[in-house]
Chains A and B, each alone.
Chain A
Amino acid sequence: MNLAAIVQDQTSHSEAVLFYLLAPITVLCALGMLLVKKAVHSALLLATVMISLAIFYILNEAPFLGIVQIIVYTGAVMMLFLFILMLVGVDSADSLVETIKGQRALGIVAALGVAGLLIALVSKGNLGRPFVGLLMANGEGNVQGIARLIFVQYVWAFEVISALLITAAIGAMVLAHREPDSDQKDQRGLSEDRVRQSSQPVAGLPGPGTFARHNAVDIPALLPDGSTSDLSVSDVIAARGHLAKPADYKFIETSDDDREEK
Chain B
Amino acid sequence: MVSATSSTLVYLIAIPLFSSAFLLLGGRALDRIGHLIGTAASTSSFAVALVELNKMLGRDEEARGVTQHLFTWINVGSFKVDATLLLDQLSICFVLLITGVGTLIHIYSISYMSHDIDRRRFFAYLNLFIAAMLLLVLGNSYLNLYVGWEGVGLASYLLIGFWNQKPTYATAAKKAFVANRVGDVGLSLAVMIAFVQFGSVTFDGVAKGIESGSASSTALNAMGAAILLAAVGKSAQFPLQAWLGDAMAGPTPVSALIHAATMVTAGVYLISRSNFVFDNAPTAQLLVVIVGAVTLLFGAVIGMAKDDIKKALAASTMSQIGYMILATGMGPAGYAFAMMHLLTHGFFKAGMFLGAGSVMHGMNDEVDMRKYGALRKVMPITFATFGLGYLAIIGIPPFAGFYSKDKIIETAFNAGGNKGIILGCVTLLGASITAFYMTRVMLMTFFGTKRWDSAAHPHESPWLMTIPMILLSIGSVTTGFIFSNGDRLKNFLAPVVDSHHHEHESELLAPIVVTGLAMLAVAIGVSIAVAKYGRKAIPASAPTDVTVWTKVARRDLLQDDFNETVFMRPGQSLTRVLAFLDKRVVDGAVSGVGAMTLRLAGDLRKTQTGYVRSYALLILLGTVAILTAILVVTL
A and B touch in the complex (CB under 8 A): yes
- Encoded as 1 (CB less than 8 Å from any B CB) or 0, chain A from 103 to 126 comes to 100110011011001101100100
Assess whether B631 is in contact with A110, with CB atoms less than 8 Å apart: no
15 more A-B residue pairs beyond the given contacts A113-B628, A114-B624, A117-B624, with a C-beta to C-beta distance below 8 A: A100-B609, A100-B614, A103-B613, A103-B614, A107-B613, A110-B621, A114-B620, A114-B623, A114-B627, A117-B627, A117-B631, A118-B627, A120-B631, A121-B630, A124-B634
Q: How far is the CA of A103 from the CA of B627 in the complex (A)?
A: 21
Q: Is B29 an interface residue (CB 8 A)?
A: no
| CB contact under 8 A between A113 and B617, given known A121-B631, A124-B634 | no
Q: How far is the CA of A121 from the CA of B634 in the complex (A)?
A: 9
A contact residues around B623 at 8 Å (CB): 114
B contact residues around A121 at 8 Å (CB): 627, 630-631, 634
Q: How far is the CA of A207 from the CA of B331 in the complex (A)?
A: 147
B contact residues around A106 at 8 Å (CB): 617, 621
Residues of B near any A CB (own CB < 8 A): 609, 611, 613-614, 617, 620-621, 623-624, 627-628, 630-631, 634
Q: How far is the CA of A120 from the CA of B609 in the complex (A)?
A: 33
| Chain A residues touching B, majority SS | helix
Q: Which of A100, A103, A113 contacts B624 (CB 8 A)?
A: A113
Assess whether A111 is in contact with B627, with CB atoms less than 8 Å apart: no
Q: Which of B617, B628, B630, B634 contacts A103 (CB 8 A)?
A: B617
Most buried by B among A100, A110, A114: A110
Assess whether A111 is in contact with B613, with CB atoms less than 8 Å apart: no
Q: Taking the nearest CB of chain B, how far is it from the CB of A148, in angstroms?
A: 36
A contact residues around B624 at 8 Å (CB): 110, 113-114, 117
Q: How far is the CA of A7 from the CA of B623 in the complex (A)?
A: 37
**Nearest 3 A-B pairs (CB), nearest first?**
A117-B627, A113-B624, A110-B620
- Provide 14 A-B residue pairs closer than 8 Å at the C-beta atoms, listed in order of the A residue: A100-B609, A100-B614, A103-B617, A107-B620, A110-B624, A113-B624, A114-B624, A114-B627, A117-B627, A118-B627, A120-B631, A121-B631, A121-B634, A124-B634
Q: Taking the nearest CB of chain A, how far is it from the CB of B577, in angstroms?
A: 50
- Encoded as 1 (CB less than 8 Å from any B CB) or 0, chain A from 22 to 33 comes to 000000000000
Interface size of A as a range: 10 to 19
Assess whether A117 is in contact with B620, with CB atoms less than 8 Å apart: no
Q: How far is the CA of A118 from the CA of B609 in the complex (A)?
A: 29
A contact residues around B628 at 8 Å (CB): 113, 117
Q: How far is the CA of A106 from the CA of B619 in the complex (A)?
A: 12
Q: How far is the CA of A110 from the CA of B627 in the complex (A)?
A: 12
Q: How far is the CA of A121 from the CA of B623 in the complex (A)?
A: 13
Q: Which of B611, B617, B634 contacts A110 (CB 8 A)?
A: B617
| CB contact under 8 A between A100 and B621, given known A117-B631, A120-B631, A124-B634 | no
Assess whether A107 is in contact with B617, with CB atoms less than 8 Å apart: yes
Q: How far is the CA of A252 from the CA of B627 in the complex (A)?
A: 109
Closest B residue to A99 by beta carbon equals B611
Q: Which of A100, A117, A118, A120 contacts B613 (CB 8 A)?
A: A100
A contact residues around B620 at 8 Å (CB): 107, 110-111, 114
Q: Taking the nearest CB of chain B, how far is it from the CB of A189, in angstroms?
A: 46
Q: How far is the CA of A114 from the CA of B634 in the complex (A)?
A: 17
Closest A residue to B614 by beta carbon equals A100
Q: Taking the nearest CB of chain A, how far is it from the CB of B523, in angstroms?
A: 107
Which positions 88-145 of chain A face chain B at CB distance < 8 Å?
100, 103, 106-107, 110-111, 113-114, 117-118, 120-121, 124
Q: How far is the CA of A191 from the CA of B476 in the complex (A)?
A: 129
Q: How far is the CA of A118 from the CA of B627 in the complex (A)?
A: 7
B contact residues around A103 at 8 Å (CB): 613-614, 617
Closest B residue to A117 by beta carbon equals B627
Q: How far is the CA of A100 from the CA of B623 in the complex (A)?
A: 21
A contact residues around B609 at 8 Å (CB): 100
Q: Taking the nearest CB of chain A, how far is it from the CB of B618, in angstroms?
A: 9
B contact residues around A100 at 8 Å (CB): 609, 611, 613-614
Q: Taking the nearest CB of chain B, how far is it from the CB of A238, in angstroms?
A: 79
Q: How far is the CA of A124 from the CA of B635 in the complex (A)?
A: 9
Q: How far is the CA of A106 from the CA of B618 in the complex (A)?
A: 10
A contact residues around B627 at 8 Å (CB): 113-114, 117-118, 121
B contact residues around A110 at 8 Å (CB): 617, 620-621, 624
Closest A residue to B630 by beta carbon equals A121
Which positions 186-216 of chain A face chain B at CB distance < 8 Å?
none
Q: Taking the nearest CB of chain A, how far is it from the CB of B495, in angstroms?
A: 101
B contact residues around A114 at 8 Å (CB): 620, 623-624, 627
Q: How far is the CA of A106 from the CA of B617 in the complex (A)?
A: 8
Q: How far is the CA of A121 from the CA of B626 in the complex (A)?
A: 12
Q: How far is the CA of A124 from the CA of B634 in the complex (A)?
A: 9
Closest A residue to B609 by beta carbon equals A100
Q: How far is the CA of A124 from the CA of B631 in the complex (A)?
A: 9
Closest B residue to A98 by beta carbon equals B613
Which positions 214-256 of chain A face chain B at CB distance < 8 Å?
none
Which positions 59-115 of chain A face chain B at CB distance < 8 Å?
100, 103, 106-107, 110-111, 113-114
A contact residues around B631 at 8 Å (CB): 117, 120-121
Closest A residue to B626 by beta carbon equals A117
Q: How far is the CA of A111 from the CA of B623 in the complex (A)?
A: 10
Q: Taking the nearest CB of chain A, how far is it from the CB of B318, in angstroms?
A: 84
Q: Taking the nearest CB of chain B, how far is it from the CB of A126, in angstroms?
A: 13
Closest A residue to B635 by beta carbon equals A124
Closest A residue to B628 by beta carbon equals A117
Q: Taking the nearest CB of chain A, how far is it from the CB of B302, in angstroms?
A: 84
Closest B residue to A102 by beta carbon equals B617
- Encoded as 1 (CB less than 8 Å from any B CB) or 0, chain A from 14 to 53 comes to 0000000000000000000000000000000000000000
Q: Taking the nearest CB of chain A, how far is it from the CB of B633, in angstroms?
A: 11
Q: How far is the CA of A124 from the CA of B621 in the complex (A)?
A: 22
Q: How far is the CA of A20 from the CA of B425 in the complex (A)?
A: 129
Q: How far is the CA of A28 from the CA of B267 in the complex (A)?
A: 108
Closest A residue to B623 by beta carbon equals A114
B contact residues around A120 at 8 Å (CB): 631
Q: Taking the nearest CB of chain A, how far is it from the CB of B464, in angstroms?
A: 95
Q: How far is the CA of A196 from the CA of B611 in the complex (A)?
A: 55
Q: How far is the CA of A21 from the CA of B609 in the complex (A)?
A: 43
Q: How far is the CA of A120 from the CA of B631 in the complex (A)?
A: 8
Q: How far is the CA of A117 from the CA of B611 in the complex (A)?
A: 26
Q: How far is the CA of A114 from the CA of B614 in the complex (A)?
A: 17
Q: How far is the CA of A110 from the CA of B624 in the complex (A)?
A: 7
Q: How far is the CA of A110 from the CA of B631 in the complex (A)?
A: 16
Q: How far is the CA of A113 from the CA of B631 in the complex (A)?
A: 12
Q: Taking the nearest CB of chain B, how far is it from the CB of A159, in angstroms?
A: 32
Q: Taking the nearest CB of chain A, how far is it from the CB of B56, in angstroms?
A: 101
Q: Taking the nearest CB of chain B, how far is it from the CB of A125, in angstroms?
A: 9
B contact residues around A118 at 8 Å (CB): 627
Q: How far is the CA of A70 from the CA of B630 in the complex (A)?
A: 36
